[in-house]
Structure formats: C-alpha cells, structure tokens
Amino acid sequence: MIASKLIAMRFFFIVSSMLLLSSCDTIDLVPLINKNYSIRADETLDYEVRKNEKYGDNELQNYDLYLPKNQSTKVPVIVLLHGGGWSEGDKGFINPIVDHFRQKNTKCAIVNMNYRLTFQQGITYKQQLDDIGMLLKKLHKEANSLNITPKFFLLGISAGGHLAMLYSYTADNKNLVEVVGGIASPADLTSDKLRQGRMNSDIVKLISQPFSEETVREYRSASPYYQMKKSSPATILFYGGSDTIVPPEQGEKMKQKLEEMGSKHEYYFYPELYHEWGRLNETVDIMLTFADKYL
C-alpha cells in the first residue's frame, strides 16, 4: 500500500512538471519527493541589503548581498554573475534578475557579484574562477553570522553563465555548489560557430592566446562542455534560437552530453529569443522550481 502511494505521488509530480511548460524542451523533471522545505516563502519577505561588500583587494572584487529578514533557519545562497564577454559589464546590469527573485519572496540569500575582467592586465578565466572561489569561501566562513547555509546555486548570463558552469564543473566541491544555471552561455570555446567576430576576440583575451592545434587543450580546459562530469552539480540551461552571439548549437551540445551522462539537469530552448533575454520573469520561476528540487 505504501509503495503504491509513493508510485502515485511520483507520477503526479512528473505529470505536473511536464505540464508546467509544455512549450519548451525539458529534461529530468522528476523532483525530490523527500524535500520538507521550500525556498519560496508563503509570506512577503523583507531583505537586508548590503551594497558593494568586498571579497578582495581589486576594485572589481565586490558584491551586493540581499538577506531575507527574520528567518528561523539558515537559508541557502543564490550567486549571480553578469555577462559582458568576460571583458566588461557590471553587477548592476542584472539587478532586474535580483528584483525578480525578491518579488517572488525567495527564501535565499541573493549575492550579485562583480569579478575581475579581461581588460585588466593579467586577467584570464583562471583569475575569474579564483574570484568565484574567493567569494564562496568568504560566505562559507561567515555562514553563521549571515544566517546562511553554505549551499550555493551559481547562476550566470552569457559569459557569467560560462564561468558559473566552469567553476561548478572543475572546483573540488569544498564550497558545496549544488546547482548551476546558465542563460545564453558559451559552453564549447573550441567551436568555430561560436568563435566569430567580437566573440572570437573576447575568447582570445579570455584564454590569453589564439586558437590553434597547439592551444586546443587550453581551450578545452576553459570549456564547461569538456569539463562536466556525471557527478557535477544539477544544471539548468536556457538558450534562444535567434541568438546570433551564442549560437543555439552551444545549448544543443550541452543538452546531448548531459543526457548521455545521465546528469541531473533541465534544458529550455526558445526558438524566438535573442541573446538579450526577454523572458526573465518566466525564467526565474523555472529556476526556483529547479532549485527547490536540488538546493
């Protein structure tokens, strides 16, 4: 009788999830039925806001922190990384995403971070990954005083999504990254379709050397596609079919490899969307549902 009820519950959750967004391609929609909490609050949440906190000595090593007030238990952490071709951009550009999370009463600390950029001398993807690690270690150390549990959801747009995935797939997991997400994010830097125009020059600066047979190994080391493992954190991805900067094939390659590995993931493809993502409200809803399963 108990086994029958569990099977019925699982079937109900699967069908409900599939109906949520029938217009998108989705994978791995079976939730964790043993969860006894939610990162969505039923009541309206207030947040304590701390702007331009430092995690290093460089002027770009700073972040904004949003802490839900009056929480009786510690809350997990969502870390946001902006785009800008790894060479420009600012955390302020993705404040609209922060606003969506806050408006949905997300019971998580929200961190919107800056990181060093490749226009600065000596900065490559390696230093940018170091920045993510430095910030997560700082938050881990301050977990008690901030009333957070150091369980992290790394989420980035475009170049920020690339860095979020690359860090999550290559870090030693001491920082407990459990969920990673990317919106219109480069994944395979060896791809000829990706390395076109301005994107090619941005990638050359990111790697610090042009693509060739001699440097292909370094390009693979900097590509989430080549670094993911079956044991990598749960991954949620969004790509647009009209994106002329990050071509749709980047998402298709990630989808195929995640499926082959049997990794926990969901994939959403919108044929009409460009690189300038136009469905933030819907996307944040989907991400919260995904994070509720795995965070």
For residues 184-200, average pLDDT: 96
Distance of CA 213 to the CA centre of its chain: 30
Structural domain harbouring 70: 2-294
Which pLDDT score is estimated for 176? Answer: 83
Asked whether residue 35 carries a pLDDT value surpassing 80, the answer given is no
pLDDT band at 21 (very low <50, low <70, confident <90, very high): very low
Q: What is the spatial distance between Cα 187 and Cα 128, in angstroms, rounded to a whole number?
A: 16
**For the segment 272-289, what is each residue's pLDDT rounded down to a tens digit?**
999 999 899 999 999 999
Which pLDDT score is estimated for 36? Answer: 59
Q: What is the spatial distance between Cα 130 and Cα 55, in angstroms, rounded to a whole number?
A: 11
Which pLDDT score is estimated for 172? Answer: 81
Which pLDDT score is estimated for 31? Answer: 34
Which pLDDT score is estimated for 174? Answer: 66
- Give DSSP secondary structure letters for 151-217: EEEEEEETHHHHHHHHHHHHS-STT-EEEEEEES----TT-TTTS-HHHHHHHHHHHTS--STTTHH
pLDDT band at 223 (very low <50, low <70, confident <90, very high): very high
Asked whether residue 26 carries a pLDDT value surpassing 80, the answer given is no
pLDDT band at 5 (very low <50, low <70, confident <90, very high): very low
Q: Which of 30-39, 48-57, 174-183 shows the lowest mean pLDDT across its residues?
A: 30-39
Higher pLDDT, 120 or 37: 120
**For the segment 87-129, what is each residue's pLDDT rounded down to a tens digit?**
999 999 999 999 999 999 999 999 999 999 999 999 999 999 9
Radius of gyration of the chain (CA): 19
pTM of this prediction? Answer: 0.88
Q: What is the spatial distance between Cα 137 and Cα 134, in angstroms, rounded to a whole number?
A: 5
Which pLDDT score is estimated for 90? Answer: 98
For residues 217-224, average pLDDT: 98
Query: With pLDDT > 90 as the criterion, what percentage of the chain qualifies?
Result: 84
Range ranked top by mean pLDDT from 26-30, 79-83, 227-231: 79-83
**Residue 105, by phi and psi: left (phi above 0), alpha (psi -120 to 50) or beta?**
left
pLDDT band at 25 (very low <50, low <70, confident <90, very high): very low
What type of residue sits at position 139? L
Q: What angle do CA 9, 13, 14 make, to 5 degrees?
A: 115
Q: What is the spatial distance between Cα 227 and Cα 87, in angstroms, rounded to a whole number?
A: 22
Q: What is the spatial distance between Cα 117 and Cα 111, in angstroms, rounded to a whole number?
A: 18
Q: What angle do CA 207, 64, 264 make, to 5 degrees?
A: 60
Overall number of domains in the chain: 1
For residues 21-30, average pLDDT: 36
**212: buried, middle or exposed (CB in 10 Å: 19+, 13-18, 0-12)?**
exposed
Which pLDDT score is estimated for 86? Answer: 98
Residue 253 maps to which CATH number? 3.40.50.1820
Asked whether residue 133 carries a pLDDT value surpassing 90, the answer given is yes
Asked whether residue 22 carries a pLDDT value surpassing 60, the answer given is no
**For the segment 59-84, what is each residue's pLDDT rounded down to a tens digit?**
999 999 999 999 999 999 999 999 99
Q: What angle do CA 41, 180, 178 make, to 5 degrees?
A: 70
